[in-house]
Amino acid sequence: MASVPAGTPDALNKFEDLSGVNSALYQNPYDALLEACHDDPALIQARYDTHRTTRNAQQKAALLSPSFSGLNIDQILLKLEDQTIEPGFSDPRNCLVFWARPPKHIRDLVDRVQTKLRESAPGLWLMPILNLHLTALEVTHSLTRPEILALLEKLGDNVIKNMTDYPFQHRTRLIKPMLSYDASAIALSFVPAAAENLSGGRSPEDDTFSYHHLRRDLFNIATTQSPVTINSRYVVPSSHITIGRFLTQEDHNSPEKMKRWIAAIEEINETLVREFWPDDQAKDISKGEWIVGQEKGLDCREGVLWYGGGQTVRLGKGF
C-alpha cells in the first residue's frame, strides 16, 4: 500500500492522541474514548479540548524554541501552485473520505479568520472557501486511482448511501471554534457540545449523540456492512477544518516574526471565545455552532482531494 510521500508535512506530523486515551486495543478505535468518558457529553468535550489545547501548547513551545529550524513547507502544494518548479506536476495521492461540509455561517466565519491571518502572513496559502471540509471518516489515503475505484466497488452504493445520509437522523453539534496550529498548517477546530445554549428545539438529550459517536458509527457501518478495511491516518479526538498551509518561510523566518504570528493566532482565539463561545445560557452562539449535516449531508469523496478537490461519489441528504 502506498504511503504519504516522504518530506510532505503530513508525513512529518505525528498524529498523537493528547487526550489521555489509548485506542490501540479496540476493534473500533473510537470506542476507546467513549468508554473512557462513559458516553458523558461533558467528558467527551473535555477530552477534545484537552487534545487541542495541549497540542497548541506543544506547538507554541516548538515554534518559539531557539532550536526551531523552520516551517514544514508543503512541497506538493508548492509545486501545484507554482508550475514553474516542475512543469506538469500533479498530486499522486488519491484518497477516499467522508466529509462534512460546513454551512454558510461557518464558511463566513472561516473567511473572516483567514482575512485576519493573511494580515500577519501574506504568503499563507488559504484553503478555498468552497473546498472547506471536516473529515468525519478517512477510509484511506495516498493510493492510486484504480485502487480507490476498487475500494468504492467493495464499499457499495447502499453502504455509501447509509453513511452519507446518516447525519440526517443523527444530528451532532459542534461548538467553541478555536484556531489550532503547528509547523505545517492552521485549522479551525471545534469540540462536541454538551447541552450548552440550546436553541431551535434542541434538548440536552440531543447532545448525548456526539461527533465522536458519529465517527464511531461511520467506522462501524463501513467495516460491518462491507469488506473494506479502514486505513485512516488518525483517530485522535479532533474536529477541525484545515484553513491554511505554509508555502514559504518568509513570513516566519525570525523569532520576532514567529512571535507576532503566534500573538495574532492567540488574539483571534480570544475574539472567538468572546464572540462565539457560550458563557451563559442566554448568549446566542449560533454563528459559531455547527450541526453536522446542516445544508448538506456527508460528502463521499474520492480522488486527489488533499486540498479540497476530488470528485463527489454521493452527497447525503441535508437539513
Q: Does 3 fall in a domain?
A: no
Q: Cell numbers at residue 153, please?
A: 466497488
What is the spatial distance between Cα 182 and Cα 57, in angstroms, rounded to a whole number? 10
Q: Count the neighbouring beta carbons within 10 Å of the beta carbon of residue 309.
A: 13
> Is 233 a residue whose pLDDT tops 90?
no
For the purposes of burial, counting CB atoms within 10 Å of the CB of 316, is it exposed (0-12), middle (13-18) or buried (19 or more)? Answer: buried
Model pLDDT, residue 1: 35
Q: Does 18 fall in a domain?
A: no
- Kindly state the average pLDDT of the residues 205-213: 97
Choice among 2-16, 126-140, 263-277 with the minimum mean pLDDT:
2-16
Find the CATH number of the domain harbouring 30.
Answer: 3.90.1140.10
Query: How do beta strands 290-291 and 239-245 pair?
Result: unpaired
On whether the CB atoms of residues 291 and 102 are closer than 8 A, the answer is no
pLDDT-based confidence at residue 18 (cuts at 50, 70, 90): low
> Is 16 a residue whose pLDDT tops 80?
no
pLDDT-based confidence at residue 11 (cuts at 50, 70, 90): very low
On whether the CB atoms of residues 34 and 212 are closer than 8 A, the answer is yes
Q: What is the DSSP string of 187-236?
A: EEEEEE--S-S--TT--GGGGGS-HHHHHHHHHHHHHHSSSPPP--S---
Q: Does 8 fall in a domain?
A: no
Choice among 212-216, 260-264, 282-286 with the minimum mean pLDDT:
282-286
What is the spatial distance between Cα 159 and Cα 70, in angstroms, rounded to a whole number? 44
State percent of the chain over pLDDT 90.
88
Q: Does 14 fall in a domain?
A: no
- Kindly state the average pLDDT of the residues 217-222: 98
On whether the CB atoms of residues 20 and 44 are closer than 8 A, the answer is no
Q: If you ran DSSP here, which 8-state letter would residue 141 be given?
A: E
Domain that holds residue 151: 25-315
Which residues contact residue 32 at a Cβ distance below 8 angstroms, ignoring those fewer than 6 apart? 21, 22, 23, 25, 26
Dihedral over Cα of 236, 237, 240, 246: its sign: negative
- Kindly state the average pLDDT of the residues 115-120: 97
> Is 199 a residue whose pLDDT tops 90?
no
- The per-residue pLDDT of the chain, averaged, comes to 93
- Kindly state the average pLDDT of the residues 291-310: 96
Q: Does 15 fall in a domain?
A: no
Model pLDDT, residue 212: 97
Q: Does 164 fall in a domain?
A: yes
> Is 239 a residue whose pLDDT tops 70?
yes
Q: Give the end-to-end CA distance of the chain in Å, rounded to a whole number.
A: 38
On whether the CB atoms of residues 152 and 302 are closer than 8 A, the answer is yes
- Domain total of the chain: 1
On whether the CB atoms of residues 283 and 197 are closer than 8 A, the answer is yes
Q: Does 4 fall in a domain?
A: no
What is the spatial distance between Cα 228 and Cα 220, in angstroms, rounded to a whole number? 11
Q: Does 159 fall in a domain?
A: yes
98, 171, 237, 162 alpha-carbon torsion, rounded to 10°: -30
pLDDT-based confidence at residue 92 (cuts at 50, 70, 90): very high
Q: Count the neighbouring beta carbons within 10 Å of the beta carbon of residue 281.
A: 10
Model pLDDT, residue 234: 78
Q: Which of 182, 203, 189, 171 is nearest to 288 (CA)?
A: 189
pLDDT by residue (tens digit) across 37-90? Answer: 999 999 999 999 999 999 999 999 999 999 999 999 999 999 999 999 999 999
pLDDT-based confidence at residue 19 (cuts at 50, 70, 90): low
